[in-house]
Amino acid sequence: MDTTGLRTFITAAELESFSHAADQLYLTQPAVSKRVASLEEELGTPLFDRIGRRVFLTEAGRELLPRAKSILNEIEDSRRLITNLSGKVAGRLSIGTSHHIGLHRLPPVLRNYSAQYPEVELDLHFMDSEAACRAVLAGELELGIVTLPPEPIDDLQTEIIWPDPLSIVVNKNHPLAKHKNTKLEDLTNTPAILPAHGTYTRELLEQAFAPTGLTLKTGMTTNYLETIKMMVSVGLGWSILPETMLSDELVTLNVKGIKLSRQLGFVFHPRHTLSNAAKAIIETLRDQINRQ
């Protein structure tokens, strides 16, 4: 079976469009249609229903999709295993990371890594940590350098590189900035600017409030910590930020009963073979621990 046909099928299925798949794969739409038609002919069944400009998986297509992904993952895993035998550190390395880590933690790591292993082609994907973990689980990325999940995830191995203490902050003119000690009730009565539900950072905060039965009053949500910092600094509400992002325009609140910290590190699938390039960047990351 032609793996290019499987890749084209997966892309078209996920985008529900041959034209969008063509754009992503740098092909013409007729080329995408031809590859899909060839795969359908080989399997002896339609994989898509064509309705207007959109395409939808048939029952056969829905059955094939997870198996197609598994086939390609196995092929890629075998390729990495064979390439590793040479001992050479080269090739493409696909990594998912958050914007915050990419801005504040990764630059010295990538600088050292690229200097030492110039033959590695870094394929960086900036995304939420939760999405990166899902992509590693699915075999779409080899590594994630992310905010680690508060609770273990099956089939995902994690390692801490950077402890990341969090502070509850407001701007200097916010009413809560005048409090010597802040109560949890004060926070729940005041609008907050927080990461969205389902993010690991939001989950940590909700776990801290859960025993009290109090409900957070969320005014706005965004997963970009730099945006949260800006909105807090102009007085739009309180939030939680890493201590590494604190600055003169922010005031840290002393909240009794709450001490928050998240862990930043890397994740990988233990049943997938790591390339030499991935092993090398893991060692580069571990060097950061020794320098802290």
Q: Residue 292's pLDDT is what?
A: 64
Q: Residue 263's pLDDT is what?
A: 96
- Strand intervals (E) in the chain: 48-51, 54-57, 91-97, 120-126, 143-147, 157-171, 192-194, 218-221, 239-242, 250-252, 260-268
Residue 77 forms part of a structural domain: no
Q: Which residues pair with 239 in a beta bridge?
A: 169
Residue 164 structure tokens: 């990341």
Q: Residue 96's pLDDT is what?
A: 96
Whose tokens are 């949500």? That residue is: 221
172 and 245 housed in the same domain: yes
Residue 178 forms part of a structural domain: yes
282 and 202 housed in the same domain: no
118 and 255 housed in the same domain: no
CATH for 55? 1.10.10.10
151 and 272 housed in the same domain: yes
Residue 174 forms part of a structural domain: yes
Q: How many residues does the chain have?
A: 292
142 and 272 housed in the same domain: yes
Residue 110 forms part of a structural domain: yes
User: What values do phi and psi take at 123, rounded to 5?
Assistant: -115, 90
Residue 226 forms part of a structural domain: yes
256 and 268 housed in the same domain: no
Q: Is 213 exposed, middle or buried (0-12, 13-18, 19+ CB in 10 A)?
A: exposed
Q: Are 142 and 95 in contact (CB under 8 A)?
A: yes
Residue 78 forms part of a structural domain: no
pTM, two decimal places: 0.77
CATH for 134? 3.40.190.10
Residue ranges of the chain with per-residue pLDDT less than 70: 1-2, 292
Residue 116 forms part of a structural domain: yes
65 and 34 housed in the same domain: yes
Q: Which residues pair with 22 in a beta bridge?
A: none
Domain of residue 287, residue span:
83-162+264-291
Residue 240 forms part of a structural domain: yes
Task: Please state, in angstroms and rounded to a whole number, the distance separating the CA atoms of residues 199 and 194.
Answer: 10
184 and 206 housed in the same domain: yes
150 and 10 housed in the same domain: no
Q: What is the DSSP string of 36-99?
A: HHHHHHHHTS--EEEETTEEEE-HHHHHHHHHHHHHHHHHHHHHHHHHHTT----EEEEEEE-H
- Please say which residue of 35, 52, 72 terminates a domain: 72
10 and 121 housed in the same domain: no
How many domains does the chain divide into? 3
277 and 218 housed in the same domain: no
Stated as kind and residue range, the H or E segment containing 201 is: helix 200-209
User: What values do phi and psi take at 250, rounded to 5?
Assistant: -110, 150
125 and 136 housed in the same domain: yes
SS3 147: strand
Q: How many CB atoms lie within 10 A of CB 287?
A: 14
